Structure 1
Amino acid sequence: MKVSTMLLIIIFMPMIASVVSYWIGMIRESYRNFFLIGMMVVEALITYKIYGIVSTGEVIWLTIPGVMGTGFVLKCDLYRFVFVAIAVFAWFVTMLYSFLYLIKYNHRNRYFMFFTLTLSATVGFFLSANIINMFTFFEILTISLYLLIIHDEDEYSHEAGSIYLNMAIFGGLVQLLGIFMLYAYTGTFMIDEVGAIFEGMGYIKYVIAILIFIGYAVKASCFPLHVWLPKAHPAAPSPASAVLSGVMLKCGVFGIIMVANDFLRLDHYFATMLMIIAYANIILTGIMAMYQRNLKRIMAFSSMSQIGFILLGVALLGVDENYAAYGTLLYIINHSIYKVLLFLCAGVIYTLVKDLSLNNLKGFGRGKYILFVLFLVGVLGLTAFPGFNGYLGKTLLYHALEHYVEIHGFFYRFLLILFDVGSMITVAYALKMMVAIFIWKAEETPPKTSNKWIYFPLFLLAFAIYYEGTHPSMILSALGDAAIHLGGTRQFHYAFYEVENLMHSAVIFLFGGLIYVFFINGLLRKNENGKWMYVNPSMHWISAERLLYQPSMAFVLHIMPRAIMRIDARLSLLFTHMMTALLRSSNIKFKTISDREYTLKSIGFDAMRWLKTVSGSMILALLATMLIYMILTLI
Structure 2
Amino acid sequence: MKNAQGVEALHHDHASDGYKPSTLLFINNIIIFLLTVAGFIFFVSITGGGKAPHLYEGIKEFVATKPYYPMLIVFIPTIGGFISVSFGKNYENLRDGLTAMFTFITLMMVLAMYPAVASETLVLNLPRMLGYGLLFKVDMLSYIMATLTSILWLMAMIYAPHYMTVEKHRNRFYLCTAITYGAILGTVMSGDLFTTFLFFEIMTFSSYMLVVHCETEDAIAAGDSYIYMGVFGGLCILLGMILLYIHTNTLEFMPMISQLESMGNTRYIVMALFMVGFGVKAGMIPMHIWLPKAHPVAPTPASALLSGIMIKVGGYGMLRTATSFFFPAANEIESYKDALWLSSQNLGAVIIWMGIATMGIGVFMALQQGNMKKMLAYHSVSQMGYVIMGIGVAIYLGHKGAMGFTGGVFHMINHALFKSLLFMVAGAIYLQTHHLDMYKLGGLWRKMPFTFIVALIAALGITGTPLFNGFASKTILHHAIVEAYEYGHHSFRYAEILFTIISGGTVCSFIKLISYTFLGKCSEENEKIGNGYRMMDMAMMGMAILIIGIGIKPNYILDFLLIPAARGVTYDPYFIQNYIVDMNVFIAPDLLAMIPVYILGAVIFTLGKKFHLFHLHFPHWLRFDYILFYPVFKLTNFIIKRLSRGQEAMQKKEDGLVDGVNSAINAVTEKYESNVSKGERLVDDVSSAINYLTEEYESKLNKSEGLIGRCVYTLNLITNRYESSIIKSDVVIYAIILTTLLGTLLVFK
Partner in structure 1 of residue 440 of structure 2: 360
Structure 2 residue 541 is the aligned partner of structure 1 residue 478: no
Inter-partner Cα distance in structure 1 for 2:314 and 2:554? 26
After superposition, what is the alpha-carbon deviation per residue over 1:74-117, rounded to whole angstroms, capped at 9, x for unaligned? Answer: 00011111011111001000010001211222111111110111
8 Å CA contact retained: 1:3, 1:60: no
1:73 to 115, 128, 135: 135
2:430 to 346, 350, 374: 350
Q: Which amino acid aligns with 1:463?
A: I
1:285 to 358, 362, 380: 362
8 Å CA contact retained: 1:484, 1:490: no
Partner in structure 2 of residue 455 of structure 1: 537
CA-CA distance at 1:549 after TM superposition: 2.3
Counterparts of residues 240-259 of structure 1 (less than 5 Å): 240-259=302-321
Q: Which amino acid aligns with 2:458?
A: G
What is the aligned residue count? 575
1:167 to 229, 233, 252: 229
Inter-partner Cα distance in structure 2 for 1:166 and 1:297? 20
1:492 to 567, 574, 581: 581
After superposition, what is the alpha-carbon deviation per residue over 1:422-472, rounded to whole angstroms, capped at 9, x for unaligned? Answer: 111110111110110111212221511252332001111100010111112
8 Å CA contact retained: 2:134, 2:195: yes
Aligned residues: CA RMSD: 2.9
After superposition, what is the alpha-carbon deviation per residue over 1:25-75, rounded to whole angstroms, capped at 9, x for unaligned? Answer: 1231111122112211210111111112112x2110001111121111100
8 Å CA contact retained: 1:279, 1:308: yes
Inter-partner Cα distance in structure 2 for 1:546 and 1:522? 28
CA-CA distance at 1:2 after TM superposition: 4.3
Partner in structure 2 of residue 531 of structure 1: none
Partner in structure 2 of residue 188 of structure 1: 250
Task: Check 1:567–1:75 CA distance in 2 against 1; reply closer, same or farther (3 A cut).
Answer: farther
8 Å CA contact retained: 2:255, 2:323: no
1:311 to 388, 404, 407: 388
Counterparts of residues 389-468 of structure 1 (less than 5 Å): 389-408=469-488, 410-444=490-524, 445=527, 447-468=529-550
Counterparts of residues 96-107 of structure 1 (less than 5 Å): 96-107=158-169
Inter-partner Cα distance in structure 2 for 1:556 and 1:72? 37
Inter-partner Cα distance in structure 2 for 1:129 and 1:568? 50
Counterparts of residues 510-529 of structure 1 (less than 5 Å): 510-524=599-613
Inter-partner Cα distance in structure 1 for 2:264 and 2:359? 32
CA-CA distance at 1:583 after TM superposition: 9.5
After superposition, what is the alpha-carbon deviation per residue over 1:336-389, rounded to whole angstroms, capped at 9, x for unaligned? Answer: 111111110111001111111112223233442211110011001100000011
CA-CA distance at 1:325 after TM superposition: 2.5
2:592 to 495, 503, 512: 503
Q: Which amino acid aligns with 1:235?
A: V
CA-CA distance at 1:173 after TM superposition: 1.9
Structure 2 residue 379 is the aligned partner of structure 1 residue 297: no
CA-CA distance at 1:553 after TM superposition: 5.2
Please report the TM-score for the alignment, with normalisation by the length of structure 2.
0.72
CA-CA distance at 1:288 after TM superposition: 0.7
Q: Which amino acid aligns with 2:244?
A: L
Inter-partner Cα distance in structure 1 for 2:243 and 2:297? 36
Partner in structure 1 of residue 192 of structure 2: 130
Inter-partner Cα distance in structure 2 for 1:505 and 1:306? 17
Task: Check 1:490–1:92 CA distance in 2 against 1; reply closer, same or farther (3 A cut).
Answer: farther
Task: Check 1:209–1:344 CA distance in 2 against 1; reply closer, same or farther (3 A cut).
Answer: same
Partner in structure 2 of residue 331 of structure 1: 411
1:7 to 70, 90, 99: 70
Inter-partner Cα distance in structure 2 for 1:347 and 1:288? 21
Partner in structure 2 of residue 150 of structure 1: 212
SS of residue paired to 2:324: helix
Partner in structure 1 of residue 8 of structure 2: none
8 Å CA contact retained: 2:255, 2:326: no
Inter-partner Cα distance in structure 2 for 1:568 and 1:87? 53
After superposition, what is the alpha-carbon deviation per residue over 1:520-542, rounded to whole angstroms, capped at 9, x for unaligned? Answer: 443326xxxxxxxxx24235552
After superposition, what is the alpha-carbon deviation per residue over 1:569-619, rounded to whole angstroms, capped at 9, x for unaligned? Answer: 959x98x98999989999xxxxxxxxxxxxxxxxxxxxxxxxxxxxxxxxx
1:117 to 173, 179, 186: 179
8 Å CA contact retained: 1:424, 1:509: yes
2:352 to 263, 275, 278: 275
Task: Check 1:577–1:224 CA distance in 2 against 1; reply closer, same or farther (3 A cut).
Answer: same
SS of residue paired to 1:62: strand
Q: Which amino acid aligns with 1:106?
A: K
Inter-partner Cα distance in structure 2 for 1:316 and 1:580? 71
8 Å CA contact retained: 1:64, 1:72: yes
After superposition, what is the alpha-carbon deviation per residue over 1:467-525, rounded to whole angstroms, capped at 9, x for unaligned? Answer: 11111221211122112234888971112111111111112111111111113443326
Partner in structure 2 of residue 221 of structure 1: 283
Inter-partner Cα distance in structure 2 for 1:442 and 1:584? 80
CA-CA distance at 1:237 after TM superposition: 0.7
Inter-partner Cα distance in structure 2 for 1:321 and 1:256? 15
Task: Check 1:568–1:335 CA distance in 2 against 1; reply closer, same or farther (3 A cut).
Answer: farther
1:239 to 282, 294, 301: 301
Percentage identity across aligned positions?
Answer: 29
Inter-partner Cα distance in structure 2 for 1:557 and 1:259? 35
Task: Check 1:561–1:71 CA distance in 2 against 1; reply closer, same or farther (3 A cut).
Answer: farther
Q: Which amino acid aligns with 1:72?
A: L
CA-CA distance at 1:252 after TM superposition: 0.6
Structure 2 residue 273 is the aligned partner of structure 1 residue 211: yes
2:96 to 27, 33, 37: 33
Please report the TM-score for the alignment, with normalisation by the length of structure 1.
0.85
CA-CA distance at 1:213 after TM superposition: 2.1
Inter-partner Cα distance in structure 1 for 2:153 and 2:74? 13
8 Å CA contact retained: 2:607, 2:613: no
Q: Which amino acid aligns with 1:197?
A: Q
8 Å CA contact retained: 2:142, 2:189: yes
Answer with 293-302 or 181-190: which moved more: 181-190
Structure 2 residue 622 is the aligned partner of structure 1 residue 542: yes
Task: Check 1:570–1:344 CA distance in 2 against 1; reply closer, same or farther (3 A cut).
Answer: same
Inter-partner Cα distance in structure 2 for 1:539 and 1:449? 39
Task: Check 1:76–1:363 CA distance in 2 against 1; reply closer, same or farther (3 A cut).
Answer: same
Partner in structure 2 of residue 590 of structure 1: none
Inter-partner Cα distance in structure 2 for 1:348 and 1:256? 34
Inter-partner Cα distance in structure 2 for 1:584 and 1:96? 67
Inter-partner Cα distance in structure 2 for 1:222 and 1:328? 14
SS of residue paired to 2:135: strand
8 Å CA contact retained: 2:126, 2:135: yes
8 Å CA contact retained: 2:226, 2:294: yes
Inter-partner Cα distance in structure 1 for 2:137 and 2:642? 42
Q: Which amino acid aligns with 1:303?
A: S
Partner in structure 2 of residue 593 of structure 1: none
Answer with 174-183 or 142-151: which moved more: 174-183
